[in-house]
Amino acid sequence: MSSKSLTLNNISKRFGNVTALDNFNLEVGVGELVALLGPSGCGKTTALRVVAGLEHQDKGTVLVAEKNISDVPAHKRNMGMVFQAYSLFPNLTVEENVAFGLQMRKVNKSVRLKKAHQLLDLVGLDSQSKRFTHQLSGGQQQRVALARALAFEPEILLLDEPLSALDAQVRVNLREEIRRLQLSLGTTTLFVTHDQEEAMAISDRVGVMNQGVLEQIDTPDALYNKPTSSFVAGFVGTMNRIPAQISDGMVEIFGSKVVALKRGNESGQVVALIRPESISVIANSSQPNAKVLTRSFMGASSNIICQTGDGTIVQSLMTSASTGELHPGSSVQLRVLSSEVLVANV
Amino acid sequence: MIKSKFQLPLVFTLLILGFFVFVPMISAFEYSIRTPAKGGYGWDSYLWAIREEEFLYYIIRSTWLAGVTVLITLFVLVPTLTWIHLSNSKVRGLIDGLSLLPLVIPVVAFAVGAQISFPEFVKNTVLELPFLYFVLALPYAYRALDIGLSAIPLKTITEAARSAGANWLRTITSVIIPVIRGSVMATIALTFALSLGEFTLTVLLHWDTFPTWVTYVAQENILGAIAISMMSLILPFLLLTLITLFVPERSTQGRK
């Protein structure tokens, strides 16, 4: 296995007046798949391009297996890269595309074609090897791009939003395929995406970026359940932001007191951050504190949107079986199910 | 109805081409096979042209000068235009404008200026011609390549090639040129044809090439000059056919 670890130390990069990366640090272990997630313009693609050598950082170092490659040109970095779309060479057949990296490494023709067929077989496209890329669907083209990036056994695999141009169903299938291949080949992978579901579904760890810095990097579970900043809490999954009063480490929400997990202000007005699945909506209560606005049926679960007396909109996710009596307009009682909630300053 | 609407412009084009290109060519051919001494038709002029030693000398000279011009054009323009497209630089507008200059500068002024200003070692070598032809062909060559590069996702495929291990030279030769093959062919054809037929600049700089020699011949033997010109048509035609055959058409067929 040729896979190596990747370290980015204090990388900064500016484009004119815009700071794309600001003292950015990241470590990716051998064989690990790390996703960089964030809104557009957060610097995630710049980070990936700095690793690839397609962009040069203003300061900081890039290390692969502890070796400083900061000044190594892109074509000598041995990194496989998959782009958003349209990156295949239109003048080459599918197998020639996949063998391209090996051709550049002066591997002889029979060996490189054999390797290309192995990779095409892995992505399920060996039967298409003689076709030209414009004869393939978008999903197939990205599979070829993936095979091309892996054919020369790169030390690091870089994925730059490889699924964003594809249809929903193809997207889900291909992301599973990327994960399966990545696990079986053990290739260290850095995956840039703005789609949190995608990032959460296939990554070992997800780094959430905002304005050129890494806000938090953690397992998908921890990121969802224990966000360390209000940005991460708001960006990953849906989060209710409910105004509340804090005193002595407790916040009062919907009439009951809950432990505040991360304190902002010690006392006074704060915002409690609560996931929709942590809020229960009770019909026919003797102490109603909200009104149902809408109920959207989504199969096993239903999404209930309510409005409290002070006008706050609250979203709740409940199993559909328990929402039969929640009709728009009906008075209901909201209750927080968790015993601890995250708190942020207003 | 629609069909007839589209035919009308085509008919016009063919009429104009026919009247201004084919009619003179056919007439010239007809004239060149006349045999005034004997009356009637024959290949006398052509036989005379072939026996003329200078015919081959000048046609080879003009061909290699045109070949060198093509090489200079590709060598300079492909990397430059690739860089301009990739860098999104503000100089693009400036270079676009500069590339048009040869169209507006009168060739006479250009030639006289060159004659006055160039150092002896440049004026003493016929290799000054390919560089000057390159300048004359620049507006056409530049645009042909520019269109090709604008039509492809240049940035992505360049980066894909580089991250797959291709250095800049390999990226240009193995990826960019094959992908914009149509534009490259057009550039070769335009530059080659322009260099092969260039007359004014060549004469003013006191060089002899095929076109200047034909003009010289025409003063003494007009039938011979036409025969020579007719035969000279075959050479670029053959060369361009060969180039097309050697660079096989691939993915462009059926592209969506």
Domain A239-345, CATH? 2.40.50.100
Nearest chain A residue to B248 by CA: give it: A91
Alpha carbons A83 and B157: distance in angstroms, whole number: 9
B227 pLDDT tier (thresholds 50, 70, 90): confident
In chain A, which residues touch B (CB < 8 A)? 52-54, 73-81, 83-92, 100-101, 103-105, 132-135, 145, 148-149, 152, 158
Q: Which helix H or strand E contains A268, and what residues bound it?
A: strand A268-274
Residue A189 has pLDDT above 90, yes or no: yes
**Average per-residue pLDDT in chain A?**
90
DSSP codes, A130-192:
TSBGGGS-HHHHHHHHHHHHHHT--SEEEEESTTTTS-HHHHHHHHHHHHHHHHHHT-EEEEE
**pTM (two decimals):** 0.82
CA-nearest of B32, B18, B150 to B81 is B150
Higher-pLDDT residue of B256, A58: A58
Please report residues of A whose CB lies closer than 8 A to that of B174: 103
| Predicted local confidence at residue B90, as pLDDT | 82
Out of A84, A91, A105, closest to residue B181 by CB: A91
Please report residues of B whose CB lies closer than 8 A to that of A105: 165
Could you tell me if B97 lies within 8 Å of chain A, comparing CB atoms?
A: no
Give residues with Cβ within 8 angstroms of A86, minimum separation 6. A141, B153, B156, B157
Whole-Å CA distances, A200 to A34, A176, A231, B211 = 10, 12, 17, 71
How far is A80 from chain B, CA to nearest CA, in Å?
6
| Predicted local confidence at residue A333, as pLDDT | 92
Please report residues of B whose CB lies closer than 8 A to that of A85: 156
Please report residues of A whose CB lies closer than 8 A to that of B162: 53-54, 73-75
Cβ <8 Å between B164 and A149: yes
ipTM: 0.82
Number of neighbouring beta carbons within 10 Å of residue B2: 6
Amino acid at A8: L
Encode pLDDT of B83-142 as tens digits.
Answer: 999 987 788 889 889 999 999 988 888 888 888 888 888 888 889 999 999 999 999 999
Alpha carbons A278 and B197: distance in angstroms, whole number: 82
How far is B87 from chain A, CA to nearest CA, in Å?
12
| Predicted local confidence at residue B254, as pLDDT | 38
- Return the CATH superfamily for domain B51-246: MetI-like (1.10.3720.10)
Dihedrals phi, psi of B133, to nearest 5 degrees: -60, -40
Cβ <8 Å between A158 and B163: yes
Residue A103 has pLDDT above 70, yes or no: yes
Out of B162, B170, B251, closest to residue A134 by CB: B251
Alpha carbons B128 and B119: distance in angstroms, whole number: 11
- Is residue A23 within 8 A of residue A74, CB to CB? The reply is no
Ramachandran region, residue A31 (left: φ > 0; alpha: ψ -120 to 50; beta: rest): left
**Fold for the domain defined by A6-232:** Rossmann fold (3.40.50)
Cβ <8 Å between B156 and A87: yes
Please report residues of A whose CB lies closer than 8 A to that of B179: 89-91
Nearest chain B residue to A88 by CA: give it: B157
CA dihedral B244→B245→B246→B250, nearest 10 degrees, is: 80
Q: Break chain A into its structural domains and give their ranges.
A: 6-232, 239-345
Cβ <8 Å between B163 and A92: no
Out of B163, B167, B255, closest to residue A134 by CB: B255
Task: Fill in the DSSP letter of residue B41.
Answer: B
- Is residue A25 within 8 A of residue A216, CB to CB? The reply is no
Encode pLDDT of A29-38 as tens digits.
Answer: 999 999 999 9
Cβ <8 Å between A89 and B163: no
Alpha carbons B84 and B91: distance in angstroms, whole number: 8
